[in-house]
Chain A
Amino acid sequence: MIWQQFLSLAGSYPLALRGLGMTVVLSLISLVLGTLLGFGLGILRTGGNRLISSVIGAWVDLIRGTPFLVQIFLIFFILPEFGIELDAFTAGIIALTNLAACFICEIVAAGIRSVPTGQVEAALASGLSRWQRMRQVVLPQAMRIVLPPLVGQYVLLIKDSSVVSAIGLTDLTRVGWLVVQRVPNGLLVFFLVGVGYFIVCYPLIMLARRLERRMGAAHGEVQL
């Protein structure tokens, strides 16, 4: 009987691949956008402007303090009430990008704060502009602190992407739901779904571990 279920599962592999593809595409797009946005927010968060900093801080707290599922529902079901119609894919990208940006913002801000004041003063004293100080002096040093948790955060976000199945996107998790209706063996189906996520995440976990070791050992000669 297990064998029959297996055969029947093998028949759904195109669907599984599509789901895996959707998970990867969704994650990739929102991680790239979220990283760019997160760095921008992190830099603004530690910049001189109190108002901007506290607005970003409040938004980050709000996003971190509410369930991702609720955020997706708000974007997908509530925004149309205000005339903003989004397809599921766009809504998923927006929700995931926003979530990624908020977590990454805090990681980047912590990294920037870890750079000693003396470094900023030295850059200031030699006449570097604000952007040059950030680009040439602060960020390269902050990256040592930022990179390991950043990659770790990517893993968490890829797994969080499973929540978008709730608004009907056919990602890996939703494929699980679809298949399990045909092959009534939840344990087996969702075990395989888990394996799918693991295959995507494991290289990143390894990368995070390697980065952590390299950053700890490096004497400043970090090559980005």
Chain B
Amino acid sequence: MTKPTQTKTGPAKTGMIDFRGVNKWFGALNVLKDITLSVEPREVVVVCGPSGSGKSTLIRCINGLETIKDGDLVVDGQRVGDPATNMTQLRTEIGFVFQSFNLYPHKTALENVTLAPVHVRKIPRAEAEKAGRELLAKVGLADKVNAYPAQLSGGQQQRVAIARCLGMRPKIMLFDEPTSALDPEMISEVLDVMVAVAEEGMTMMVVTHEMGFARKVAQRVVFMDAGAIVESGTPDEFFSHPKTDRSRAFLSKILRH
């Protein structure tokens, strides 16, 4: 059937990210319906689906940007939303890349990258700056360390945002439509960086419609519609043999052009 990672999930074994019967409402709207999903360490999962299907809400729950109503969500062995869980501490293990980058406009690229390592991880500034420069070089922005976000293109800003997350040496990286706000010619430079991060063995959940990326690095594609996981499988299975009408309709729309 699907990957063994999915069928083997028993009570004794927990993934890096474990949704068990998670529900969430916005008012009367059930935005997450009984979500059960386990992501293994080093696994890359792509989440896709029509807009409003709950994809972003799903990954925003993982670092507590959204709260869940019921069910269990265990991340890196800690229950999200449990009063005993130190969410600030847990968040340092989770990088989050936003659709709109959300770089700090009053800080340079390097300052964006070093802010959390210096203030949260308490790494000495000189050391953090050295690591920050290396990270910016890694995402191809060695010459932009002192640039302010307003002086960078969208693609460059998003690469700084990824470097900012990597600066915390997280165990998990979450991407919320990282290329949706970009001009087409800038999408590949961001995807290249994401592929490199994936190949280093990062545990990743990526909300995206970039099917090339999914085929290249994802072990699993999760298709959501109306707040529920409708289908889940390897990229090959999902793209070549979608099992449900809804996923077929969705794929025909995004692959038409």
Chain A residues with a Cβ under 8 A of chain B = 116, 118-119, 121-129, 132, 136-137, 140-141, 219-222
Contact = CB atoms under 8 A, between A and B. Distances in A.
Given A118-B98, A125-B63, A127-B88, 20 more contacts: A122-B102, A122-B103, A122-B104, A123-B104, A124-B91, A125-B65, A125-B94, A126-B115, A127-B120, A127-B168, A128-B88, A129-B88, A132-B119, A136-B104, A140-B106, A141-B104, A219-B151, A220-B105, A221-B106, A221-B148
Contacts, number: 70
Given A122-B102, A126-B115, A129-B88, A219 B148 contact: yes
12 contacts: A116-B102, A118-B98, A118-B100, A119-B104, A121-B65, A124-B65, A126-B91, A126-B115, A126-B116, A127-B88, A129-B88, A221-B106
A30 B165 CA distance: 43
A137 B105 CA distance: 9
Given A118-B100, A132-B119, A219-B151, A141 B91 contact: no
Interface of B: 63, 65, 88-89, 91-92, 94-96, 98, 100, 102-106, 115-116, 119-120, 148-151, 164-165, 168
Contacts of A136: 104, 115, 119
Contacts of B95: 125-126
Contact of B150 (A121, A125, A141, A220): A220
A129 B106 CA distance: 19
A126 B65 contact: no
A141 B105 contact: yes
Contacts of A118: 98, 100, 102
Contacts of B94: 125
Nearest to A219: B150
A220 B165 contact: no
Contacts of B98: 118, 121-122
Contacts of A219: 105, 148, 150-151
Contacts of B100: 118
Among A116, A121, A140, A141, max chain B CB count under 10 A is at: A121
Contacts of A123: 104
B168 A126 contact: yes
A126 B164 contact: yes
Contacts of A137: 104
A132 B92 CA distance: 14
Given A125-B94, A127-B88, A129-B88, A220 B120 contact: no
Nearest to A143: B106
A116 B102 CA distance: 9
A132 B120 CA distance: 9
A222 B106 contact: yes
B92 A126 contact: yes
